[in-house]
Amino acid sequence: MGTKIYLPTFLLAIALSFALAIVSKTPGIHSTPGIWLTILGLPGTMIGVWTETALGDNDLLFYVTTALANWTFYLCVAKGVILLKGRLHETSRTQPSK
């Protein structure tokens, strides 16, 4: 089921984490781009902040955790969309046409 979605979702999660790292160091996390990137990566950002708070103040830990959590989230969403699309296609084939 959809093994082609692993790489694009991983690249999206990595790109978002890199962009967040760059924006947080240059214009700042409270700038407009920083706020938007934080919102776009919300599941990973929340888990990254929680992990960083629990295990110590380490930026690398935050960004790695953010990327992995976002990848997991994006992968689950993509698989859910593929599954729903398949089920909708299947039900449209099995229903008799009028």
The 10s digit of each residue's pLDDT in 30-85 is 999 999 999 989 999 999 999 999 998 899 999 999 999 999 999 999 999 999 99
Q: Cα(70)–Cα(77) distance, rounded to whole angstroms?
A: 10
Stated pTM of the model: 0.83
The 10s digit of each residue's pLDDT in 16-29 is 999 999 999 898 88
Instruction: Find the helix packing angle between 42-55 and 32-40, rounded to 10°.
Output: 90
Q: What is the dihedral of CA 14, 15, 18, 22, to 10 degrees?
A: -170
